[in-house]
Amino acid sequence: MATNTAPWATEVPTAVLVLADGTVIEGRGLGATGSAVAEVCFNTALTGYEEILTDPSYAGQIVTFTFPHIGNVGTNDEDIEDLTPAARAGAVGAVFKADITIPSNYRASGDLDDWLKRRGVVAIAGIDTRALTALIRQKGAPNAVIAHSPDGKFDIEDLKRQAAAWSGLVGLDLAKEVTSGQSSVWSETPWAWNEGYGEQAEPTMHVVAVDYGVKRNILRLLSGLGAKVTIVPAKTKAEDILAMKPDGIFLSNGPGDPAATGEYAVPVIQDLLKSELPIFGICLGHQMLALAVGGKTEKMHQGHHGANHPVKDHTTGKVEIVSMNHGFAVDSKSLPEGVVETHVSLFDGSNCGITLTGKPVFSVQHHPEASPGPQDSHYLFRRFVNLIRERKGEPALAER
């Protein structure tokens, strides 16, 4: 890819994206000043940029938005997904085609540029995002440095060295960087039009959520179905989880290489499986479960990042339009006997879900708490809750 030439190319570029192969892409700086080294991916969603940028699963990544106009609806305090905003879990950089526009939405409490500054996210605009996306599709997600300096002064050779020297996401445990520092209880319920979020008063079950980088809306959906949710840090021991006397266990989404996180997470999950409690995993939690039962994970060429991915549920025969955000996948050929593949991507055939034969345990790769379909996959939360209700001798909820 050649150096970017934008309509304002006569101006001094105030941001650069330097790829590990030495490619230098110039643009206009936005958000925080400084630099960040990370993997560059692309996201095809048309909406939800605030949720995307605050998803802890994007830790260690720079997100290229394929939709050209990002920032139109501004930002607010309700759409943040990371559990601890002060920790700034989520993407470290963002790449836009067009400059951020003035926000136009009744829910907006601020504009995206100021929001990026507050969160420490470095951004660049004026980029040919179609060309960058094509490069990622052809060559895979590259390592890169994104840098923003208002005076336009960059040490390009040093940035090239940084990009080339970064080890990448393979072998990197990022869950430990974004997980909760201590246990806490979640009681907020899903958002309702003109009402905002609710508060659960009378839980009917107890779910312990192992936090590898959990998203808020996952917790809201569990709470909305009657669960008292206790969030525990990623390295919490199985005996400590079971001592809380949960009715079910949730394994959350999160960033980084699942094999690296699995060094401490897999033994815990293997012990939890012996309890015969219902277990539900999403994203990294899905990969952790697969590793715990003897499967393997692998780095994907470009990953799946977007809100328009078709996934087939073999248990129902239905196709769901889902939200995805993962750069690693479970190798379906590695799944042992007793582990059944339940969901598959219709884009590339990669694994998107498993269940354990004869056990109340299942997981999915995609994000059923998101609303691209708009709620095609919300039934998975009811499926989990019904496993708990069945164990308690209570009638099942309708899945749809």
Q: Tell which phi-psi region holds residue 234, choosing left (phi > 0), alpha (psi between -120 and 50) or beta.
A: alpha
Same domain, yes or no, for 137 and 207? no
Task: Tell me the one-letter amino acid at 217.
Answer: N
Same domain, yes or no, for 160 and 184? no
E runs forming strands in the chain: 15-19, 24-31, 34-43, 61-65, 93-95, 122-125, 143-148, 184-186, 188-192, 196-199, 205-211, 227-233, 248-251, 279-282, 297-313, 318-330, 339-345, 351-356, 361-364
Pairing of strands 227-233, 184-186: antiparallel
Among all residues, which ones are annotated catalytic? 283, 367, 369
On whether residue 385 sits in a domain, the answer given is: yes
Show pLDDT as tens, one digit a residue, over the chain (400 residues): 444 444 444 489 999 999 999 999 999 999 999 999 999 999 999 999 999 999 999 999 999 999 999 999 999 999 999 997 656 689 999 999 999 989 999 999 999 999 999 999 999 999 999 999 999 999 999 999 999 999 999 999 999 999 999 999 999 999 999 999 999 999 999 999 889 999 998 999 999 999 999 999 999 999 999 999 999 999 999 999 999 999 999 999 999 999 999 999 999 999 999 999 999 999 999 999 999 999 999 999 999 999 999 999 999 999 999 999 999 999 999 999 999 999 999 999 999 999 999 999 999 999 999 888 778 899 999 999 999 999 999 999 987 6
Segment 173-200, tens digit of pLDDT: 999 999 999 999 999 999 998 899 999 9
What pTM, to 2 d.p., does this model score?
Answer: 0.95
Model pLDDT, residue 10: 47
Domain termination site, one of 114, 136, 165: 165
Segment 55-91, tens digit of pLDDT: 999 999 999 999 999 999 999 999 999 997 656 689 9
E runs forming strands in 177-224: 184-186, 188-192, 196-199, 205-211
Model pLDDT, residue 85: 64
| Helices assigned H by DSSP within 30-155 | 49-53, 112-119, 129-139
For the record, the structure tokens of 12 come out as 């001094």
Same domain, yes or no, for 154 and 207? no
Model pLDDT, residue 52: 97
Residue 274, Cβ density class (10 Å: 0-12 exposed, 13-18 middle, ≥19 buried): exposed
Same domain, yes or no, for 247 and 377? yes
Same domain, yes or no, for 156 and 275? no
On whether residue 128 sits in a domain, the answer given is: yes
Same domain, yes or no, for 181 and 257? yes
Model pLDDT, residue 194: 85
For the record, the structure tokens of 18 come out as 């330097």
Same domain, yes or no, for 203 and 262? yes
Same domain, yes or no, for 182 and 137? no
CATH number for 75: 3.50.30.20
How far apart, in whole angstroms, are the C-alpha atoms of residue 376 and residue 368?
A: 8
On whether residue 400 sits in a domain, the answer given is: no
State the total domains in the chain.
2
On whether residue 8 sits in a domain, the answer given is: no
Q: Which of 119, 283, 115, 287 shows the shortest CA–CA distance to 213?
A: 283
On whether residue 65 sits in a domain, the answer given is: yes
On whether residue 5 sits in a domain, the answer given is: no
Residue 263's CB is within 10 A of a number of other CB atoms, namely: 10
CATH number for 352: 3.40.50.880
On whether residue 10 sits in a domain, the answer given is: no
Same domain, yes or no, for 286 and 360? yes
On whether residue 398 sits in a domain, the answer given is: no
Q: If DSSP codes are grouped into helix, strand and coil, which group holds residue 347?
A: coil
Model pLDDT, residue 11: 80
Model pLDDT, residue 145: 98
Same domain, yes or no, for 158 and 221? no
Same domain, yes or no, for 217 and 261? yes
Same domain, yes or no, for 199 and 230? yes
Domain termination site, one of 165, 194, 212: 165
Domain that holds residue 151: 15-165
Domain termination site, one of 126, 146, 165: 165
How far apart, in whole angstroms, are the C-alpha atoms of residue 254 and residue 262?
A: 12
